[in-house]
Amino acid sequence: MKKFSFIVICAVLLSCAFAPMVSATVDYTPASVYETYIYDSDGEPIGVSAAYETQKVVSTGFSEPTDVCVTDNGTIYICDSKNGRIAVTDSHLESFEYIQNFAFENAQHSFLEPKGIWADNDSLYVSDSGNARIVAFEITKQGYICKDIYKRPVIPMLEEDYQYVPIKLTVDSTGKMYVISKGINLGVLVLDENGEFMNFVGAPNVEPDLAEILWRKIATKEQLANMESYVPTEYSAITMDDNGFLYVASQTSKKVPVGKLNSDGDNILVEPYDGYGDSVYLGNTTYEPYFTDVALYDSGKIGEDIYFVLDSLQGKIYAYTEDGMLLYAFGGNGNQKGLFYSASALEYIPATAGESAKLIVTDSFKNSITVLSETVFSQKILSALSLYNNGKYELAEEAWNEIKDIDSSYLTADICLAKMLLYKEQYSQALKKLSVIRRYDLYNDAFNKTRDGLIREYFPYGILSAVVLIAVFIGIRVVIKKKKLGSRLAQSDGYQSFKYANYIMIHPFDGFWDLKHERKGNVRTATVIAVLFFVLYALNIQFGGYIATEVSPGEERVIFKVLMLLLPLLFYVVANWCFTTLMDGKGTLKDIYIATCYALKPYVIFALPLLIVSNIVTVDELAFYTFFKTVLVVWVLFLLFAGLMMTHDYTPGKTVITVILVLVGICLIVFLILLVISIVQNISQFAYNTYKEISFRSY
């Protein structure tokens, strides 16, 4: 009963400390409405000025449009799949003509559920998916003349009767075709100008999980064949820029959801800092983005393109630069004009004289074509990027500052301004800006260059300072010895008990035994060690390096963090005493407190080196810091285990059981504290409501 009363008293006393910390958390995700947003420094979506506005929605006569293509002369081709035809129109989408039946080699042909198209000013290629073929047309003044039909190619590494369903394609200047087939999962199929197989590019790396690896070891041949047949199609969309690089998008691959393939088939895109797209939470299930198309703002210069990715699951469009920077995201699912139900294809139309740039989006469920017009805000972003990519940094800086004046929450402008500071080698200013906006990758680059510059400039002074400090230290020791101050200090009880903690660090079992039975420690020294521990812990939180902690200086709530470590340690001491007295433990509450505090000595010794290392490491060296910190934590935990074992004279097995019970006890204490807080809050609310009622009725 006394133990229970003691716990309740502790709960009541600590309830005041916990009361302000109880709060509700709100899981915020972007609403499925037509809004434009980016991510703030915490990775949360934040609204910005609109990048595109809905100009027109056309929904007459289409049945499951699946692809769209725009040529240099402004002609728009729409793959009207269920109607088995290709719709042809201009940039205004006001009048249409259709390609449906065509002649080839003295025979009449028609499309069957075509899924993909590619066109330039002279040629048109159609993925006639239902007929398992590709149809090529020559564009003349007389109309569209079928020049060839490419049926299923012979692929040596596949079986003769393999499934071939071309769904998307693109063609280069030599007539070489790059095809995505629903029945092939080895990457992009490359066909020559005659439709003959050449090779695969961009084959996705399939990484099976542990369960699949183990199953393959024991599965039969039939089971292995079935497993192979269920490998999903990796790529869902493909396009090519003016420099011959392939852009692909995937509906199923988490490894390469969006990629830019070089001549070797390797993805050379930089993944965005916050990843691609947004996950959506429905019930207890998390759904990843379902990318169905990719479109390009092609600058014609390598490394300067902007690509747009379409997520059909949420009906959203994301715009990224090639170096992984999100410019904006917008869209959503719904009935409203400009929203979608099953967005299937995306195409970018460059700006022309008198007309702004546009995005065209097909919706295979609504059977509609939506035209989105670029806003002034988006135009200014493209202008600022162009100035930066052309090396006109002063003009680019003015442009980004102008964008910040329009929308102060547009974090992408801050990132670009920080990049210009890096280019101008103003690293100290860049570090301040990057730590605020929390761009960890760019901060590491600036810090690395800053550190290298400091080392080159101040290395001789550093060596000289080290020599001076060593000389001063030796001189102080000589003075202390002559005045016999050191011997008096070394013989004092406080120093001896404090020093004994060093012995415990190396010899924990003997050390903790003597700590209790030989009275080598005391409460005062234990308290000093605990105070030093929490002071040094607070210093590491407050002044730890940004690369090591990923927290900007001054942003961490130091007192809260210290309390969140201090209270569990207090609960550990209390729960330890409560359970061990019931399990024939030999230690008193005082013994437990002393042993617990002495177990913290490794951190007291190594906290300052840890703090220094955190401020000088880069990302490449961070593994050493993490290893050092992990060893220190494991060391302290092991000393706590050894202290519990020797203080109560337990066997290792009984100590493990006791540790489990102590953890349960800590949970019970926390539960009691929360219960007391709830009761206090309810009583307070009842008293306040009663007072209000009495006051109201007294008038």
Between these two residues, 243 and 117, which has the higher pLDDT value? Answer: 117
> 353 and 400: one domain?
no
DSSP string spanning 573-605?
Answer: HHHHHHHHTTTT----HHHHHHHHHHTTHHHHH
Position 223 scores a pLDDT of 58
- Asked, for residue 689, whether it belongs to a domain, the answer is no
Kindly state the DSSP code that residue 555 receives in the 8-state scheme: T
**CATH at 278:** 2.120.10.30
Q: Is the pLDDT score of 1 beyond 50?
A: no
Q: Is the pLDDT at 65 greater than 60, yes or no?
A: yes
pLDDT at 637 > cutoff 60: yes
Q: Where are the beta strands (DSSP E) in 270-322?
A: 280-282, 285-287, 291-297, 306-311, 316-321
Query: In this predicted structure, what is the pLDDT of residue 533?
Result: 93
- Pairwise CA distance, residues 10 & 671, whole Å: 12
Residue 443 CA to residue 547 CA, distance in Å, equals: 8
Lowest-pLDDT range of 151-155, 239-243, 486-490, 602-606: 486-490
- Picking from 449, 482, 515, the residue at the C-terminal end of a domain is 482
Q: Supply the pLDDT for residue 208.
A: 54
Does residue 294 register a pLDDT over 80?
Answer: yes
CB neighbours of 377 closer than 8 A, spacing ≥ 6? Answer: 48, 49, 50, 51, 403, 406, 407
Q: What is the percent of the chain where pLDDT is above 70?
A: 86
Count of domains for the chain: 3
pLDDT category of residue 496 using cuts at 50, 70 and 90 = confident
Is residue 214 domain-resident?
A: no
* Rounded mean pLDDT, 93-112: 92
More confident residue, 467 or 491: 467
Q: Give yes or no: residues 8 and 77 share one domain.
A: no
Same domain as 655, residue 623: yes
Same domain? For 262 and 403 the reply is no
Q: Give the mean pLDDT of 614-623.
A: 85
Per-residue pLDDT band at 28 (split at 50, 70, 90): very low
Q: Which of 332, 351, 375 is the last residue of a domain?
A: 375
- Residue 213 CA neighbour count, 13 Å, CB half: 5
Looking at residue 108, what is its pLDDT? 94
Q: What is the pLDDT of residue 420?
A: 84
Q: Please check whether residue 116 lies inside any domain of the structure.
A: yes
Q: What local confidence, expressed as pLDDT, does residue 89 receive?
A: 93
pLDDT tens per residue, range 505-562 = 999 998 889 888 888 888 899 999 999 999 999 988 888 888 887 776 666 678 888 8
344 pLDDT tier (thresholds 50, 70, 90): very high
Q: What is the mean pLDDT of the chain?
A: 83
Does any domain span residue 228?
no
| Whole-number pLDDT of residue 620 | 83
What gap in Å lies between CA 97 and CA 85, rounded to an integer?
A: 10
Whether residue 507 is found in the same domain as residue 656 = yes
- The verdict on 430 and 577 lying in the same domain is no
Residue 556 near residue 546, CB atoms below 8 Å: no
N-to-C CA span, the chain: 49
Among 121-130, 506-515, 612-621, where is mean pLDDT lowest? 612-621
Is residue 315 one of the residues assigned to a domain? yes
Answer whether residue 693 is part of any domain.
Answer: no
CATH code, domain with 417: 1.25.40.10
Q: Report, as an integer, the average pLDDT of 277-291.
A: 78
* More confident call, 688 vs 602: 602
Over residues 194-210, the pLDDT tens digits come to 999 999 988 755 555 55
Angle at 401 between CA 397 and CA 405, to 5 degrees: 170
Query: How confident is the model over 373-398, as a mean pLDDT?
Result: 89
Q: Please tell me the predicted confidence (pLDDT) of residue 555.
A: 63
Q: Give tens-digit pLDDT for 263-277.
A: 777 888 888 877 888
Residues 87 and 179 in one domain: yes
Higher pLDDT, 132 or 299: 132
Last residue of one domain, picked from the residues 448, 482, 516: 482
Please tell me whether residues 71 and 201 are part of one structural domain.
yes
**How many beta carbons lie within 10 A of that of residue 89, not counting itself?**
18
> Most confidently modeled of 135-149, 296-310, 486-500, 513-527?
135-149
Give pLDDT, residue 128: 95
Q: Is the pLDDT of residue 379 over 60?
A: yes
Give the 3-state secondary structure of residue 561. Answer: helix
Q: Are residues 21 and 124 in the same domain?
A: no
494 pLDDT higher than 80 = no
Average pLDDT over every residue of 631-644: 93
Judge if 415 and 306 occupy the same domain.
no
pLDDT beyond 50 at 7 = no
Please check whether residue 134 lies inside any domain of the structure: yes
C-beta separation of 414 from 407 below 8 A:
no
Residue range(s) defining the domain that contains residue 347: 51-207+233-375
Instruction: With a cut of 90, say whether residue 224 has pLDDT above it.
Output: no
Q: 42 in a domain, yes or no?
A: no
**pLDDT score for 409:** 86
Q: Are residues 408 and 521 in the same domain?
A: no
> Are 286 and 154 contained in the same domain?
yes
Which of 17-31, 300-314, 450-464 is the least confident region?
17-31
248 forms beta bridges with: 238, 259
Name the band, by pLDDT with cuts 50, 70 and 90, for residue 11.
very low
Highest mean pLDDT among 16-25, 295-304, 511-520: 511-520
